[in-house]
């Protein structure tokens, strides 16, 4: 399957972000992509999470997700994007990844489980975690995809749960906070989750300076299939499910694991 990695420089102008997504979807579809993966907070982002996030939050049937659905349908490309979803707590929103099929059908929605309360940040002040930490997956083109968001990448049991549920590729939307060795950690962790589970990892970040960029598609052996730099852009790459079969045959870790 041909996949697009859409690295964005999202800001606080929702309409501008949605136009940028539409442009990436058009380019990805023209290059033959079946799926476009976009970063965490693709539709609304700021350097620091504040009270404006719950203020702009919408339900999944609101205008933002309706626009994303129309974008997917108009260009005939499935897309995964980070949105700010309203919750039952008026002071906190959900940090949610949504997946739409190429006809605009909502395939899945994943509310972030592990919030970034680290390095002086406190995402949980304005963001509410998923009420139940359960895997979120969807099927597209004969491949099962699992969904993760940013800080989730540091929790290997999350990726393992998705793999155990049948995922052959993980889609990680991120706005990986810059800092000492943070790019190195991003690259290492995406590769580690791919290798230890024998699957693909498509990690898509916000661009610098708000994030580290370096969106990447890693294959089940840890090889880099495609990677961007620090600026916004689009990279198209192929994800081969037969590669997953081959690697899992060579390293049958799921059968050998002892718990």
Helix, strand, coil percentages, rounded to 5, for the chain? 30, 30, 40
Task: State pLDDT tens for residues 128-183.
Answer: 999 888 899 999 999 999 999 999 999 999 999 999 999 999 999 999 999 999 99
Chain center to CA of 124 = 19
Catalytic residues: 40, 112, 150
Exposure of 185 by Cβ count < 10 A (0-12 exposed, 13-18 middle, 19+ buried)?
middle
What pLDDT shows up at residue 11? Answer: 98
Residue 246 confidence (pLDDT) above 90: yes
Task: State pLDDT tens for residues 7-23.
Answer: 999 999 999 999 999 99
Q: Please give, one letter per residue, the 3-state secondary structure of 197-244.
A: HCCEEEEEEECCCCCCCCCEEECCCCCEEEECCCCCEEEEEECCHHHH
CA distance 217 to 225: 5
What pLDDT shows up at residue 125? Answer: 98
CA distance 109 to 142: 19
Specify the CATH class of 2-256 in words.
alpha beta
Query: What number of residues does the chain have?
Result: 259
CA distance 172 to 193: 11
pTM: 0.97
What pLDDT shows up at residue 133? Answer: 87
> Where do the domains of the chain lie?
2-256
Given pLDDT bands bounded at 50, 70 and 90, which one contains residue 108? Answer: very high
Positive or negative torsion for Cα 51, 52, 55, 61: negative
């Amino acid at each position: 399957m041909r996949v697009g990695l859409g690295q964005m420089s999202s800001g606080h102008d929702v309409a501008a972000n949605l136009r940028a997504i539409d442009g990436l979807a058009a380019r990805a579809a023209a290059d033959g992509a079946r799926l476009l993966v976009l970063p965490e907070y693709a539709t609304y982002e700021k350097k620091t999470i504040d009270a404006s996030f719950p203020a702009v939050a919408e339900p999944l049937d609101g205008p933002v997700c309706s626009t994303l659905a129309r974008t997917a349908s108009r260009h005939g490309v499935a897309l995964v994007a980070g949105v700010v979803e309203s919750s039952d707590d008026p002071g906190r929103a959900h940090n949610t990844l949504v997946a739409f099929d190429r006809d605009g059908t909502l395939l899945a929605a994943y509310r972030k489980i592990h919030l970034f309360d680290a390095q002086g940040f406190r995402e949980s002040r304005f963001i509410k975690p998923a009420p139940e930490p359960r895997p979120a997956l969807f099927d597209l083109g004969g491949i099962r995809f699992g969904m993760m968001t940013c800080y989730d990448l540091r929790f290997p049991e999350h990726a393992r749960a998705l793999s155990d549920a049948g995922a052959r590729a993980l889609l990680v939307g991120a706005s990986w906070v810059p800092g000492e060795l943070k790019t190195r950690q991003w690259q290492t962790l995406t590769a580690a989750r791919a290798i230890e589970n024998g699957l693909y990892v498509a990690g898509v970040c916000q661009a610098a300076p708000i994030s580290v960029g370096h969106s990447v598609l890693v294959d089940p052996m840890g090889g880099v299939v495609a990677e961007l730099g620090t600026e916004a852009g689009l990279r198209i790459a192929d994800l081969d499910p037969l590669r997953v079969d081959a690697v899992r045959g060579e390293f049958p870790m799921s059968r050998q694991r002892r718990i």
